[in-house]
């Protein structure tokens, strides 16, 4: 085997190149990557290991031991690293000191983050602001008011660069000179929606950051947007829901925040029975078991709602955020 072909064997699993190589193998996801990287040092050790860690699926194990598959995945990872260098994108691995502390603490942190711009050192002072893509004027005003307040107190605003509440939150942060982080559902070379590409540039120019766990060339999809929501809440000490129907996509972010043990806040609607604020009313008035029944929660989410919020609402009123240290 040539020196070039054999180079993958000594690639560290604690560095982005090694992590990306593992992620490039079919059947190998973030949890499997973490299992392997926690126990083994280099890619060659994964291939040569007589016993892979418990939790590695049989399909993943087959690909991990397929030399040709690993070589091909390594070549793709090398190309990703090269493109990152060409485009001014940082690859931040979960083992790097610069990896956001709060995100690293969740059960399934992205092994590698693609980052443009700068993530603040004080990464624990981040708050996610999310909501509907079609907010009312009331929702827009709630967003503007809250973002101005937390920006004046040194908080970083995290959102998903979508139309509506996300866009409003980022724009106000940029206008007030506050750092803001946009978490994308696709690769950093596929900023979407197209209407917000100029906003993405403004975020970078104002000292904020664009972040994604998706490699270059990946377009946003239903699945990757769910992953984005997990990262949005994971980066943040708290998640604020401004306006949303009970079935809105922002409720995914709320679910992740609960699963990650993060505080949830919600605006209190002027019209509690309005469909666009249904989620706000339920989150601030129903106990965990009541909410679990309404949203048909299952698994760990249902358990947390029933046990951790047995007699209390899941979300605190938005005004309570200031009294909690904003």
Q: How many domains does the chain contain in total?
A: 2
* The pLDDT of residue 236: 96
Question: pLDDT digit of tens for each residue in the chain (326 aa)?
Answer: 344 467 888 999 999 999 999 999 999 999 999 999 999 999 988 877 767 888 888 888 899 989 999 999 999 999 999 999 999 999 999 999 999 999 999 999 999 999 999 887 665 699 999 999 999 999 999 999 999 999 999 999 999 999 999 999 999 999 999 999 999 999 999 999 999 999 999 999 999 999 999 999 999 999 999 999 999 999 999 999 999 999 878 999 999 999 999 999 999 887 777 778 889 999 999 999 999 999 999 999 999 999 999 999 999 998 767 556 55
pLDDT of residue 275: 76
The DSSP call for residue 53 is P
295 with 149, same domain: the answer is yes
pLDDT score at 204: 97
If asked whether residues 132 and 52 sit together in one domain, one would say: no
Model pLDDT, residue 151: 92
Residue 148, CA atoms < 13 Å, CB-side half-sphere? 7
Residue 242: which domain range?
116-323
- Residue 322's pLDDT is 59
Q: Is residue 100 assigned to a domain?
A: no
Q: What's the order of all strands across the beta sheet hosting 156-159?
A: 90-93, 112-117, 209-212, 180-183, 156-159, 126-130, 238-241, 263-266, 315-317
- C-alpha span between 70 and 63 (Å, rounded): 7
pLDDT for 2 equals 41
Looking at the structure, tell me whether residues 68 and 135 fall in a common domain. Answer: no
3-state secondary structure 150-200: HHHCCCEEEECCCCCHHHHHHHHHHHHCCCEEEECCCCCCCCCCHHHHHHH
- What pLDDT is stored for residue 248 in this prediction? 78
- Residue 55 belongs to a domain: yes
Q: CATH no. for residue 216?
A: 3.40.50.450
Q: What pLDDT is attached to residue 3?
A: 43
Q: Which residues pair with 239 in a beta bridge?
A: 128, 264
234 shares a domain with 165: yes
Q: Based on the fold, state whether residues 65 and 121 are members of the same structural domain.
A: no
Shared domain for 144 and 40, answered yes or no, is no
Task: Determine the pLDDT at residue 1.
Answer: 39
| 165, 132 Cβ separation under 8 angstroms | yes
């Amino acid at each position: 085997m040539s020196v070039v072909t054999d180079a993958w064997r000594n690639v560290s699993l604690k560095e982005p190149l090694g992590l990306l190589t593992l992620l490039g193998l079919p059947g190998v996801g973030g949890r499997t990557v973490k299992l392997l990287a926690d126990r083994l040092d280099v890619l060659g050790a994964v291939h040569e290991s007589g016993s892979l860690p418990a939790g590695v699926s049989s399909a993943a194990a087959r690909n991990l031991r397929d030399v040709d598959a690993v070589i091909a995945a390594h070549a793709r990872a090398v190309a990703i690293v090269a493109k990152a260098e060409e485009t001014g994108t940082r690859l931040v691995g979960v083992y790097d000191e610069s990896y956001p502390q709060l995100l690293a603490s969740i059960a399934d942190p992205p092994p590698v983050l693609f980052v443009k711009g700068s993530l603040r050192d004080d990464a624990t002072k981040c708050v996610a602001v999310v909501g509907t893509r079609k907010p009312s004027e009331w929702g827009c005003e709630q967003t503007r008011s809250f973002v101005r307040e937390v920006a004046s107190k040194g908080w970083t605003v995290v959102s998903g660069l979508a139309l509506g509440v996300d866009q409003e939150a980022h724009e106000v942060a940029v206008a007030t000179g506050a750092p803001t982080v946009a978490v994308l559902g696709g690769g950093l070379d596929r900023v979407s929606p197209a209407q917000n590409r100029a906003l993405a540039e403004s975020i970078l120019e104002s000292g904020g950051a664009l972040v994604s766990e998706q490699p270059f060339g990946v377009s946003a999809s239903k699945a990757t947007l769910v992953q984005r929501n997990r990262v949005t809440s994971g980066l943040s000490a708290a998640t604020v829901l401004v306006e949303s129907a009970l079935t809105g996509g922002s409720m995914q972010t709320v679910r992740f925040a609960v699963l990650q043990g993060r505080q949830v806040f919600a605006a209190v609607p002027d019209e509690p029975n309005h469909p666009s604020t249904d989620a706000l009313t339920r989150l601030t008035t129903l106990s965990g078991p009541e909410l679990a029944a309404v949203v048909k929660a299952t698994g760990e989410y249902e358990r947390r709602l029933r046990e951790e919020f047995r007699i209390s609402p899941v979300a605190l009123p938005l005004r309570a955020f200031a009294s909690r240290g904003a």
